[in-house]
């Protein structure tokens, strides 16, 4: 299966930097971080991919509610998405690298808010995941609510680090470099309705499934050191 082109995003270049316009987050500025120019942050990496500009990098980041910062390598187009907050170089781990610059951007609006622990999440059926309150693994996001089942599924996903849905794999795709590409494969699958997926971030495998987490036996929902769980949201 070939990778599906990224939908929904329109890039606009403005003043030497980028403005991202998408259905997920509206108009979003891409802002260079002056203290992180020619520096590569070495912690909190969610994924790495090749793009053509900081603005294109930001469009990919806009699909993930946990991303507020990214790095872009001039010349090579390397785009690195981060989940860690960035304040000053002294407060994080980094290496000096010419041409690798850090940027801030916005993420899709999260109606449930940010969190430190799940006790901070007051919405029904929500939990804390990478600093953001999201629908728990037994539910999917639908227009501000957490539900079980969608009349129509969309192209946005919620990811859960170090989780996987065991033995419910309807299709395997190997050599998938990023978790975002695994999401695209789930959205584009035509032989069955892909609802969830597991991404093997060590060996870059993408396991697609037509089974929702709430439809699987509880012992099939496992902690993992190899996988991230992917849950498809409603349209």
Enter the pTM of the model.
Answer: 0.66
What is residue 219's predicted lDDT score, i.e. its pLDDT? Answer: 85
For 93, the token pair is: 């781990």
Looking at the fold, whether 122 and 230 belong to one and the same domain comes out as: yes
Contact assessment for residue 45 and residue 66, using Cβ atoms and an 8 Å cutoff: no
What is residue 15's predicted lDDT score, i.e. its pLDDT? Answer: 33
Interatomic CA distance for residues 219 and 235, integer angstroms: 29
**Chain centre distance of CA 166:** 21
Number of domain units in the chain: 2
Looking at the fold, whether 48 and 151 belong to one and the same domain comes out as: no
Q: What is the pLDDT of residues 141-154, one digit of tens each?
A: 999 999 999 999 99
Looking at the fold, whether 67 and 127 belong to one and the same domain comes out as: no
Determine the length of the chain. Answer: 235
Three-state SS at 198: strand
Residue 157 located in a structural domain? yes
What is residue 5's predicted lDDT score, i.e. its pLDDT? Answer: 33
Contact assessment for residue 108 and residue 156, using Cβ atoms and an 8 Å cutoff: yes
Indicate if the pLDDT at residue 70 is higher than 60: yes
Residue 27 located in a structural domain? yes
Looking at the fold, whether 82 and 182 belong to one and the same domain comes out as: no
Residue 212 located in a structural domain? yes
Q: Which of 80, 104, 128 is the last residue of a domain?
A: 104
Looking at the fold, whether 153 and 222 belong to one and the same domain comes out as: yes
Interatomic CA distance for residues 222 and 211, integer angstroms: 15
Indicate if the pLDDT at residue 75 is higher than 50: yes
Looking at the fold, whether 44 and 96 belong to one and the same domain comes out as: yes
Q: Which of 104, 134, 157 is the last residue of a domain?
A: 104
Residue 29 located in a structural domain? yes
Block residue for tokens 């108009």? 27
Looking at the fold, whether 135 and 216 belong to one and the same domain comes out as: yes
In what order do the strands lie in the sheet containing 153-160? 153-160, 227-234, 196-200, 205-209, 171-173
Name the CA radius of gyration of the chain, rounded: 18
Interatomic CA distance for residues 33 and 124, integer angstroms: 36
Residue 130 located in a structural domain? yes
Looking at the fold, whether 128 and 226 belong to one and the same domain comes out as: yes
Q: Which of 52, 75, 104 is the last residue of a domain?
A: 104
Looking at the fold, whether 66 and 146 belong to one and the same domain comes out as: no
Domain that holds residue 73: 9-104
Looking at the fold, whether 51 and 159 belong to one and the same domain comes out as: no
- Mean pLDDT calculated for residue range 64-73: 86
Indicate if the pLDDT at residue 233 is higher than 70: yes
Indicate if the pLDDT at residue 7 is higher than 90: no
Looking at the fold, whether 90 and 196 belong to one and the same domain comes out as: no
| Burial zone of 225 (CB within 10 Å; 0-12 exposed, 13-18 middle, 19+ buried) | exposed
Q: What is the pLDDT of residues 139-188, one digit of tens each?
A: 999 999 999 999 999 988 999 989 999 989 999 999 998 888 899 999 99
Beta partners for 57? none
CATH number of the domain that residue 158 is part of: 3.50.4.10
What is residue 200's predicted lDDT score, i.e. its pLDDT? Answer: 95
* Residue partners of 181: CB distance under 8 A and separation at least 6: 3, 49, 206
What is residue 107's predicted lDDT score, i.e. its pLDDT? Answer: 64
Interatomic CA distance for residues 42 and 162, integer angstroms: 20
Looking at the fold, whether 143 and 72 belong to one and the same domain comes out as: no
Q: What is the pLDDT of residues 98-138, one digit of tens each?
A: 999 999 987 666 788 888 899 999 999 999 987 789 999 99
């Amino acid at each position: 299966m070939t990778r599906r082109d990224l939908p929904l995003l329109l890039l606009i270049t403005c003043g030497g930097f980028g403005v991202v316009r998408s259905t997920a987050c509206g108009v979003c500025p891409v802002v260079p971080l002056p203290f992180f120019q020619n520096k590569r942050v070495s912690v909190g990496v969610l994924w790495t991919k090749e793009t053509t500009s900081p603005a294109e990098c930001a469009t990919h980041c806009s699909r993930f509610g946990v991303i507020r910062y990214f790095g872009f390598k001039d010349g090579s187009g390397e785009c690195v998405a981060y989940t860690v907050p960035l304040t000053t170089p002294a407060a994080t781990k980094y290496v000096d690298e010419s041409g690798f610059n850090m940027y801030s951007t916005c993420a899709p609006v999260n109606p449930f808010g940010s969190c430190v622990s799940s006790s901070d999440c007051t919405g029904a059926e929500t939990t804390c995941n990478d600093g953001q309150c999201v629908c728990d693994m037994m539910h999917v996001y639908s227009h501000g609510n957490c539900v079980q089942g969608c009349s129509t599924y969309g192209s946005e996903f919620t990811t859960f680090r170090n989780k996987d849905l065991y033995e419910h794999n309807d299709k395997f795709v190997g050599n998938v470099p990023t978790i975002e590409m695994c999401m695209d494969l789930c959205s584009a699958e035509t032989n069955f309705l892909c609802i969830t997926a597991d991404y093997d971030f060590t060996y870059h495998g993408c396991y697609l499934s037509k089974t929702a987490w709430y439809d699987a036996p509880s012992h099939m929902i496992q902690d993992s050191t190899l996988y991230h769980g992917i849950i498809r949201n409603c349209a």
